[in-house]
Amino acid sequence: MVDFKEGPTIASAISWILEQFWPGLLIVVAIGCLSAWLTYRWQRQYFRPHTGAWCTFAFLLGLLGLVAYWLKMSRGKLEACDECHTTVPRDREACEACAACEKPFATPPLVGTEIFA
């Protein structure tokens, strides 16, 4: 707009663009924030590392980033720890919910259908 002499300065051109497209920009930012918030909740619930990086990824890519995160991270089964009684994922060898616990999980009882190699 400045090159075509339609606006006196770059600031006025940017303000005109924002006046025209603010609803779309607001929707895109809201979707990014919602995606980042859901990613944050899942990261904390499953005690996963690199929460900031995954939240940034989901914010920048929006719904596509949220779907990519969801497909990448498999959902483990959540159960209560025998020692600290915190609901934790059982896809690990030990409870990582709090620094005080970190006890290894008890082995599940044998039911007779196991395959021993």
Asked if pLDDT for residue 80 goes beyond 80, the answer is no
Is the Cβ–Cβ distance between 88 and 78 less than 8 Å?
Answer: yes
Burial readout 23-52 (b: 16 or more C-beta within 10 A, e: otherwise): eeeeeeeebbeebbeebbebbeebbeeeee
CB 81, CB 93: distance < 8 Å: no
For the stretch 45-60, pLDDT in tens is 888 889 999 999 999 9
Beta bridge partner(s), residue 104: 94
Q: Which of 8-12, 22-26, 29-33, 93-97 has the lowest mean pLDDT?
A: 93-97
Mean per-residue pLDDT of the chain: 82
The alpha carbon dihedral of 22, 26, 27, 29 has a sign of: positive
First to last CA, the chain: 73
